[in-house]
Amino acid sequence: MPQPITEQAEKIENLWVFTLIIALAVFFAVEGALIYAIIRFRKKSDELPPQTHGSTALEIVWTTIPVLIVIALFSYSFITLREVEKKAPEDALAIDVTGFQFSWEFVYNLNELGPGSDPNAEGSFSIIGTAAQEPTFVIPVGEPVEFRLKSNDVIHAFYIPSFLYKLDVVPGRDNRFVITAKETGEFTGQCAELCGLNHALMRFHVRVVEREEFDRWVAEQVQANASVRQP
């Protein structure tokens, strides 16, 4: 399983482990009872064993336990989902991600580069992948980063396994999510929705770096990137 590298991914992993523990407990309880009953009450003679009808206590128990389990799973899932799908703070770094057949474009607006960036700054720069070159984009560690997903052709899915999270990129829909990376490094993502013949080429990379390095990278991009639109 991929190592979760965001605060949100950690919460998702905790929910997964919680669900797994309950599922294993139910599995072993049910299979254990089944195996016990098969051995303990196997046919020993042709005599009919004593017949019992109904047991209020037992029925209350086997109704109450599943209800409690469902309530626990529902509550914890609901709490986790609310955390994971929280809106981005006003001043968060925002990246416009466009999935297209068959790569990705990552657009950074100069007025949305995170806390402290000039709200009146105009222009943007973008990282565009090609069939020959998988795109790599950069985000700072320890800060909320919002991804706004767009598509102009078909449905893609933005998936970085280390985020333990995946969101469809749907034409005409404003799908967005926020993550806060906890560790630096380079991680690979890919399109996770079969979107055509060269779907498999839609790989991309994210580099998580310290803020200073991110600012340096932005400055380089602004200088080098031909698509920067100066006011």
Q: Given the rule CB under 5 A, which residues bind Cu ion?
A: 156, 191, 195, 202
Concatenate the DSSP letters of all residues of 109-130 into one string.
ETT-SSTT--TT---EEEEE--
Q: How far is the CB of 131 from Cu ion (least distance, A)?
A: 13
Q: How far is the CB of 184 from Cu ion (least distance, A)?
A: 27
Minimum CB distance to Cu ion smaller for 11 or for 148: 148
Minimum CB distance to Cu ion smaller for 150 or for 156: 156
CB 161 within 8 A of CB 2: yes
Q: How far is the CB of 149 from Cu ion (least distance, A)?
A: 11
Q: How far is the CB of 191 from Cu ion (least distance, A)?
A: 3
Parallel, antiparallel, or unpaired: how do β-strands 203-209 and 136-140 relate? parallel
Distance of CA 124 to the CA centre of its chain: 27
Minimum CB distance to Cu ion smaller for 149 or for 181: 149
Minimum CB distance to Cu ion smaller for 93 or for 191: 191
Gap between the Cα atoms of 169 and 150, Å rounded: 6
Phi then psi for residue 51, to 5 deg, are: -100, 130
